[in-house]
Amino acid sequence: MRTIYILILCCLMGPSAFTQAEQEITRLQLPAVIAWAQQASISARRAATLQTTRYWEWRSFQANYKPQVQLSGTLPGFTRSFQEVVQQNGNVRFLSVSNNNANLNLSISQPITQTGGTLFVGTSLQRFDNFKNDATFYNGSPVEIGISQPLFAYNALKWDKKIEPLRYQESQQAYIGDMEEIARNTVDFFFSFLVAQTNFQIAQTNLINTDTIYQITLERQNLGKASRNDVLQLRLETLKAKKAVAEAQQDLASARQRLSAYTGKKMDGDFFLELPIDVPGLTLDAPRAIQETMVNRPDAIGFLRRELEAKAAVAEAKGQRGFSASLVGAFGMSGSGSRLEQVYSQAQDKESVFLQFNIPILDWGRAKSQLETAKAQQKLTIFEVEQDRVNLEQEVITQVNLLGMYQEQLALNKEADEVAAARYKIAQDRFILGNLSITDLSIALQENVQAKRDYIRSLWDFWRTHHYLRVLTLYDFEKQQKIKY
């Protein structure tokens, strides 16, 4: 019997539930898997594409405030048809015409941010060829300088210059937030795989132990020291253990597939995830976390942007109400003749001034309704922003407190895991000496297994909360610096 007990111990201690047999395997740590996801996952590529899109939107906005050079015209402008021609006596004749009416216009315009107007400089040239009479005429403006200025109107350039920089800054911080969100999600997929891996190892060990005890019980039955009921009970436990191994193997395969699909990394061969036991010792301060959140978080930047957009909407509604006008003035030189050089050598002064206005006489209160709607929406935006700001601050405080609690639980569960492992070792030694029953050994094993699961779960809670706090604050409390990519 002493030999039998030694054989049982060898079987129990051989394939441990928490160690991996020496073979060709790839060991993975949490930071490496997070790096995979941040480089190759669909979420990472989507975040990079959004960042590129927002960058070019920012470049497009900047171009609105720079000089615009434009060349336009009609080349050629050939016409050959019958057209309506009014005679001096008022009659209409349809005459055959054949001509070329071509023109070119080169202009440079510069928006004026402060006023919302546009300053422009241009030159133009027109050529008319009458093929019926074999005659050519030129007309043009060698130079023209002017300004177009809306009066009492909404200045989109002015408001966009306030809003768009915030939108761009918000987009840059949103990219950092997206990358941190990927890390947070990867933690869940990583630990889901890790739990499945541990459960599979536990199921394998339990099967080996149960089968070994079953074989020993058969030998003891032959010696008359075990009942038929004990044998049948252990046989049933062995069948359950085999079923548990099959289920755990399927769960492991599914978890592995989910992790591979999310990270964008094919996991060929054998992979073994290592427990991320090296947790950072963080000293968290809720006011500091809130301060970093309100500086770094895209939502916090968005608060100011939303308030400015609401103000801009009110200003636009005011600009569309009542008297509106637009002043256009230009001066320069213009000339014409049958030869091209006459356009420039015989050019004369050219001036033009236009004042276009619009005075609504009766709009049945539409403009006032639009203004009051914009003002109400502004108030609503202020209330929503204030509520969102309070919710964000509260979420930060909650996560700071949770992380502190999980740090304490992690230390307790780690100690419990060590105690349970030591107790199981003592139980094995006592079992060798015959001072412990199979039932008590099984209880010690289950307590050891549960302690290990609790420890892994506490690690999962810690790392998930740790990365969620990084998502909220975009701040690395371990390195005491802002997160950058």
- Tell me whether residue 365 is in a domain: no
Domain count of the fold of the chain: 2
pLDDT at residue 19 is higher than 50: no
Q: Are residues 420 and 272 in the same domain?
A: yes
CATH of the domain at 234: 1.20.1600.10
Question: Within a domain: residue 315?
Answer: no
pLDDT of residue 15: 42
The confidence score (pLDDT) of residue 226 equals 65
pLDDT at 431 (0 to 100): 66
| pLDDT, average across residues 14-40 | 72
Residue 88 has pLDDT above 80, yes or no: yes
Residue 316, in any domain of the structure: no
Please report the pLDDT score of residue 234 as a whole number. 76
Does one domain contain both 94 and 239? no
> What's the domain range around 414?
2-60+159-308+375-482
Residue 333 placed within a domain: yes
Q: Can you tell me the distance from the alpha carbon of 174 to that of 57, in angstroms, rounded to the nearest whole number?
A: 15
Domain membership of residue 163 (yes or no) is yes
Any domain includes 369: no
Quick one: 11 and 92 in the same domain?
no
- Domain assignment of residue 80, yes or no: yes
The per-residue b/e assignment along 342-362, b for 16 or more CB within 10 angstroms, e otherwise, is bbeeebeeeeeeeeeeeeeee
In whole numbers, what is the pLDDT of the chain averaged over residues? 88
Contact between 34 and 183 (Cβ < 8 Å): yes
Mean pLDDT lowest among 117-121, 319-323, 369-373, 473-477: 319-323
CA distance 449 to 444: 9
Check whether residue 130 and residue 217 sit in a common domain. no
pLDDT of 278 > 80? The answer is: yes
Looking at the fold, whether 207 and 294 belong to one and the same domain comes out as yes
- At residue 21, the pLDDT reads 41
| Assigned token pair, 241 | 């253990």
User: Looking at residue 366, what is its pLDDT?
Assistant: 87
Are 79 and 219 within one domain? no
Least trusted range by pLDDT, from 14-28, 160-174, 192-206, 297-311 = 14-28
Q: Find the range with the poorest average confidence among 30-44, 203-217, 237-251, 396-410.
A: 203-217
Q: Are residues 271 and 395 both part of a single domain?
A: yes
Q: Is the pLDDT of residue 451 over 80?
A: yes
Q: How far apart are alpha carbons 389 and 403 in whole angstroms? A: 21
Structure confidence at residue 474 (pLDDT) = 95
pLDDT for 101-154, tens place per residue? 999 999 999 999 999 999 999 999 999 999 988 899 999 999 999 999 999 899
Q: What is the pLDDT of residues 458-469, one digit of tens each?
A: 999 999 999 999
Average pLDDT over residues 13-18: 42
In tens, the pLDDT along 152-162 reads 899 999 999 99
Q: What pLDDT shows up at residue 444?
A: 87
Q: Are residues 249 and 330 in the same domain?
A: no
Do 47 and 78 fall within a single domain?
no
3 state SS of 169: helix
pLDDT in tens, 197-217: 999 998 998 888 778 777 877
Instruction: Map tokens 């919710």 to a residue.
Output: 391
- Do 445 and 469 lie in one domain? The reply is yes
Q: Kindly state the average pLDDT of the residues 61-89.
A: 91
216 and 353 co-located in one domain = no
pLDDT tens string 388-404: 999 999 999 999 999 99
- Domain assignment of residue 366, yes or no: no
Quick one: CA torsion of 212, 216, 219, 225, rounded to 10 degrees? -150
Q: Tell me, what's the pLDDT at 1?
A: 45
Say whether both 214 and 295 belong to one domain. yes
